[in-house]
Chain A
């Protein structure tokens, strides 16, 4: 008897393990996220964003052998107890221009989590929860619907999202 897996939902998660003195400056990213939200502008390119993006692209290439290409990047600020609406980063009627992966990074977060929805054969509507902590990330296929949970009651949560295409 043999088995062939035709498709998989691969979730990648962990900590961004940067060398000492080269850690991601979360305050700079926070400022950029807040300013882009207030001015309704794109997230500006910064040295910190580049460090994070390069880290992910290089490590994914080494570990899994595929190359990520940037699509979009933006930041979100969640108020205390605010839960996101269900999010989906592909456009079902424009799959050609949709991303392959969604990458979420905890810039400055507290009591925050990601719930990723998936189907397992006829068992529809299953979900998988993972906490999102400071300097940690979750990356999953953009075809998966997800939302962000937020149970803290006294501060803002800053989350950076980047979408990727892979070759």
Chain B
């Protein structure tokens, strides 16, 4: 079973459909994205080039089963298709965040979210605190907050 993202006129993903492996075999019996696109065009009244194959197992440019990642992320409704870089981008979480082309994720200008210390993690596990880092857009920093405070 293959997944295809339906791309709207503004480059946004408007739907994600599945296509049976048997419906995307070329004359040589090999799975071919173009054949799948033609099949979807015929059955869904939407042009073939605006169907783009996406991988259910790809996230943050990593294949969770160890295979080759396809187009950065599994496309979701509302994602944006970047044809030049061949990446499905999720919605930008904050205005200041920038694209990380290696991980196919949005990244804060202050870098990745800091990890909690061992003590904070154990306090979370014991449910005495609820430590977590939240992005502070106005201060452009990661703020540590305790949800139980």
Which chain A residues have a beta carbon within 8 Å of chain B's beta carbons?
A: 17-22, 47, 50-51, 54, 58-59, 61-62
A21 and B46 CA atoms in complex are apart in Å by 10
B44, B46, B77: the one contacting A61 at CB < 8 Å is: B77
Known: A17-B9, A19-B9. A58 touches B47 (CB 8 A): no
Chain A contacts for B14, CB-based, 8 A: 58-59, 61-62
The residue that B45 contacts in the complex, of A17, A20, A47, A59, with Cβ under 8 A, is A47
Known: A59-B14, A62-B14, A62-B78. A51 touches B47 (CB 8 A): no
Residues of chain B contacted by A62 (CB below 8 angstroms): 8, 12-14, 77-78
Residue contacts A-B, CB under 8 angstroms, 27 given: A17-B9, A18-B9, A19-B46, A19-B47, A19-B50, A20-B47, A21-B47, A22-B46, A22-B47, A47-B45, A51-B45, A54-B44, A54-B45, A58-B6, A58-B8, A58-B14, A58-B15, A59-B8, A59-B14, A61-B14, A61-B77, A62-B8, A62-B12, A62-B13, A62-B14, A62-B77, A62-B78
For B14, give the chain A residue with the smallest CB separation.
A58
Interface residues on B, range: 10 to 19
Within 8 A of A (CB), among B27-51: 44-47, 50
Q: 6 tightest CB-CB pairs across the interface, nearest first? A: A58-B14, A51-B45, A19-B47, A17-B9, A62-B14, A58-B15
Closest residue of B by beta carbon distance from A18: B9
Contacts of A22 in B (CB 8 A): 45-47
Cα–Cα distance between A3 and B12 once the two chains are bound (Å): 32
Closest A residue by C-beta to B47: A19
- Where the two chains meet, the residues of B that have a C-beta atom closer than 8 Å to any C-beta of A are 6, 8-9, 12-15, 44-47, 50, 77-78
Q: Which residues of B contact A21 (CB under 8 A)?
A: 47
Q: In the assembled complex, how far is the CB of residue A132 from the closest CB belonging to chain B, in whole angstroms?
A: 21
In the assembly, what is the distance between CA of A98 and CA of B101, in Å? 48
Q: Which residues of A contact B50 (CB under 8 A)?
A: 19
Chain B residue contacts of A59, Cβ below 8 A: 8, 14
Contact assessment for B47 and A50 in the assembled complex, using a CB-CB cutoff below 8 Å: no
Contacts of A47 in B (CB 8 A): 45
Closest A residue, CB atoms, query B41: A22
Shortest distance between the CB of A167 and any CB in chain B (Å):
15
Nearest A residue to B79 by beta-carbon distance?
Answer: A62
Q: Which residues of A have CB within 8 Å of B13?
A: 62
CA separation between A47 and B13, bound complex, in Å? 22
Given contacts A19-B50, A58-B6, A61-B77, A50 and B12 within 8 Å (CB-CB): no
Q: How far is the CA of A51 from the CA of B41 in the complex (A)?
A: 12
Complex formed: what's the CA distance from A18 to B14 in Å? Answer: 13
Minimum C-beta distance from B120 to chain A (A): 33
| Chain B residues within an 8 Å CB radius of A17 | 9
Residues of A within 8 A of B46 (CB): 19, 22
Given the complex, which residues of B lie within 8 Å of A54, measured CB to CB?
Answer: 44-45
Q: Which residues of B contact A18 (CB under 8 A)?
A: 9
Please name all residues of chain A whose beta carbon is closer than 8 Å to the beta carbon of B77 when the two chains form the complex.
Answer: 61-62
